Structure 1
Amino acid sequence: MGETDDVTDAVRRATRGESSAFSELYRRTRPLVARLVAGFGTLDPDEAEDVLQESYVRAFRGLPQLKSAGAFTPWLLTIARNRARTRLERRNLLHRMEEELADPTPETVPALPPTLQVERDIEVVRQLIAELPEGEEKKTVQLFYIEGQLSAREIAEKLGVGKSTVTMRLERFRGRIKRELLLRVLAGRWD
């Protein structure tokens, strides 16, 4: 039996739920997948390993949908290639966002006394909250920033949603605050 036949047989056994077949698939195909991921030279070793593991998780979960056991290796390589590209795109996007939201240099922005800066920032937050459309996100942000008495967990319980939903809404709002403050600093205006 050749290497390809061994992989095809292991795919069939894994599809039937034989746990040893998953280990065999991993052992037989890992070198090939690792070489492909290593070809994305800008991934650091930890990122490459994450991509490798994510690829196998996706492939093993999707195994029942695979139409032909013989197509496993090319399919796995496609998954790994897509995971690596996604990882690079996400990293590049985060890098661009960090650059866009980076603190301006002290030469371009005159220093404000701390009390005035806090008052100004609080006013921006209140203004942004007021501008939010009525809805769940606005309720969440008001409970957290305006009323300020409840934790994210308590807000989640009060609104009948998961804590992760509240956290996501608050993170999205914090992103708006950062962008607005940056825009105002760059424009040199404080309305």
Structure 2
Amino acid sequence: MGETEGLTDQVRRAAQGERSAFNALYRRTRPLVARLVAGFGTLDADEVEDVIQEAYVRAFRGLPRLKEAAAFEPWLLAIARNRARTRLERRSSLRRLEEELPDPAPEAVPAFPEALQVERDIAVVRQLIAELPEGEEKTTVHLFYIEGHLTAREIAEQLGVGKSAVTMRLERFRGRIKRELLQRVLAGRWE
């Protein structure tokens, strides 16, 4: 039981963006994922490593949507299995790139249909942007997320600042979004 509690704690901390928790989750679950992917015997060592890395990238990106922290390992393994199958099918030319197997949904029963969740989350992001005080951060975030056609480097050039300043502003805003969404999930309310 203690083992599971440690894992769920790491999952929760990672979902909040804690870098050390991502590292701990990776170290803890990688042997299991590696065994699963290596079981697809026709993948060579480089392909196995690619599949493992792709599975973690997808899982970590989707982590904020995971409703039950205890479901992390089975979900991660399902992603890895689908990535390995997709790799084999691509190599065999059985499927075109656009027809990849979809990742499993991290939640068993979503509170809202996925389209409504995305729409709701976009509305939260727009609201948070609107609530930002006028200034450089709001301008940066607006250019990147609302207008959406400029890269961080192009925004930096347009604003006359370094790319790292733009990246820092965007990271700070993403942290704000994560906190707001987490607060709403924990409070069980959506406006």
Instruction: Give the TM-score, by structure 2 length.
Output: 0.48
Instruction: Give the TM-score, by structure 1 length.
Output: 0.48
CA radius of gyration, larger in: 1
